[in-house]
Structure formats: structure tokens, C-alpha cells
Structure 1
Amino acid sequence: MERKVKNVFVEGAINPSFIAESIAHHQHKTQIGAHDIFLGQVRADKIDGKTVGAIEYTAYEEMANQKFHEIRESAFDQYDLTCMHIYHSLGSVPVGELCLFVFVSSPHRKTAFDAIRYVVEEIKAQVPVFGKEIFEDDSYQWKVNT
């Protein structure tokens, strides 16, 4: 089944109540035996004596959404998944707040574990989302994914 390209972007930080609601919406899907969730959180890294206070995310949205879609479809081809949700922040996200939410569901836990790792690593390697680390003194530098 060909799925349509979705917009995965949300403005600002991802609210924990949104995550809880996403989980709750799956209670009626009784073929699911396991969920796995990855939450990316902004760290207060210290770089050259300065502390990160926030990350400002930008993206070439059309291309990024296409890449998210390709990764999602690839995961469905490789793993026995029931469903998957991906959300990524745009704009400013303060330290301690969530910027990436990946949620996979499967009949079995090992599949969910393996799929979440695959999806997150592919996102980091392929998706054109850019983070500008804003330091507490309002200076900045572009973040490099590792």
C-alpha cells in the first residue's frame, strides 16, 4: 500500500502530552504487542566555553518530508510494523525540550527495537534538517550531526 507523504514538522518543542495522546490512540489496535519510542531532546552542550541554550531548526521542508517518507516506507518494507509516527520540530527549541519523536508499533518487541534504531539512524544520516545552536550569550553555530 503506497502511503502519501506526510508533513512531519511541528512548530517549536514537542509537548509530552502530545506523546501521551499518541500512545493512548493505539489502545484499540489489539494486533500490536510492542511500541518503541525515541525522543530527541536538546542538550545544554558546552562548546568552547559557551553553553547551548536552544537549537533553532530549519529545513527544506518538501525535500525533508520526502526523505522522512522514504525512510518510513523502507522501514515498513524491512520490518513487520503495524504503524509508525515521526514528528520533528522547526523553529526554536530550548534545552531540555523535545525536538524529535519517533513512535513505532509492531506485533513483537524485537521488531520494534530494531525498527526504531534503523529509522532514527537513517533520519540523522539522510534528512536535510539543520540546527543552529544558540548559545546563552546569543551567539550561534551550525550543529553537525554525529
Structure 2
Amino acid sequence: MKNIFVQGAISPDQIAKSIAAHSSKTAIGAHELFLGQIRADVVDGKSVAAIEYTAYEQMALEKMDTIREAMFAKYKLICMHVYHSLGTVPTGQLCLFVFVSSKHRADAQQACHEIVEQIKKELPIWGKELFEDDTHQWKKNN
């Protein structure tokens, strides 16, 4: 089972290294990626400064493993990488990185979209919005 969790924000360097590592895999014809970024939403007149992520890690990893197997069975994927933040991620920083590779673009595009939707709906990961005024509330996924 692959660990998808990273502490804090996902760095652009991590993303660049992940992409660069695939240049030697010459059977790949398409990459698709999704980057989730923390928005500075305004909720009830208060600005979000960060989101603090927590998870039921073991259950999330088991569910992600099931999703991974299903995606490889459904689409002709060559590679799939998923990283999700835990802990506090400030606005403007990245919290989710989904990166899939396949021989042809349609498989990569469709799989990436489906993976993101399943992560949002099925993984036990919660975000607490931390506001600039030092108050907080649990985030509603949308």
C-alpha cells in the first residue's frame, strides 16, 4: 500500500521531480495532472488563511489502494501518483497532486478526473478552515 500523505503543502519541486522522473518512460504518450490549491475564500465575512487537514490515515490508504486498483483495471494507465497534504496548508499553496500517465490522452484525462472525484467523495480526509481572525470551522467538500 502506497502512502499518499505529505506533511504540509506539496512543493512545486516535488511536482517537477515527479514529472521529470517520467521522461525515461518512453511508452508514455500522455500525462494528466490535477493540482488542488487552497483558496482564500470568504465565509460569513471571514477570510480563510489556511486549511488544516486530518485523516483516518489507515482507512484512507486502504480506500486509495482500492481506487488505484480500479483505475488500472478500467483505464490503460502506465503510472499513477497521488499525494494529499496533512496538517496546515496556507492559502495559495498546494494540497492535492494527482498525476497519471498512459499511452494515449483519453485514458489519462478520464482517469485523472475520476480519481479526483473519488478522493473527494470517498477518502476519510477532513479540512478545518482556519480564518484570519483565529476562528475555525470544518470545511464542506464541494
Does residue 78 of structure 1 match 2:65?
A: no
Give the match for residue 128 of structure 1: 124
Q: Which residue of 2 aligns with 1:102?
A: 98
CA distance in 2, matches of 1:85, 1:143: 25
| Displacement of 1:33 | 0.1
Q: Give the Cα–Cα distance (whole angstroms) in 1 for the partners of residues 69 and 132 of structure 2.
A: 39
Say if 2:93 is the partner of 1:92.
Answer: no
Three-state SS of the structure 2 residue aligned to 1:52 is strand
Question: Scaled by the length of structure 1, what TM-score is found?
Answer: 0.96
For 2:30, the equivalent position in structure 1 comes to 34
- Corresponding letter in the other structure for 2:62: Q
Number of corresponding residues: 142
C-alpha deviation, 1:68, in angstroms: 1.1
- Match of 1:37, SS? strand
Cα drift, residue 144 of structure 1: 1.1
CA distance in 2 between counterparts of 1:53 and 1:67 reads: 30
What percent identity do the matched residue pairs reach?
Answer: 62
- Tell me, in whole angstroms, the C-alpha distance in 1 between the residues paired with 2:85 and 2:113: 19
Deviation at 1:93, TM superposition (A): 0.1
Corresponding residue of 1:117: 113
Q: Residue 18 of structure 1 aligns with which residue?
A: 14
Task: Give, in angstroms, the shift of residue 110 of structure 1.
Answer: 1.0
Q: TM-score, normalised by structure 2?
A: 0.99
Give the deviation of 1:69 after TM superposition: 1.0
Counterpart selection for 1:55 from 51, 55, 71: 51
The structural deviation recorded for 1:118 is 0.6
Return structure 1 stretches of 4+ with deviation > 3 angstroms. none
Deviations 1:115-137 (A, max 9, x none): 10010001011000000000001
1:27 shift after superposition: 0.7
SS at match of 1:31: coil
Query: What RMSD in Å do the two structures reach over aligned CA positions?
Result: 0.5
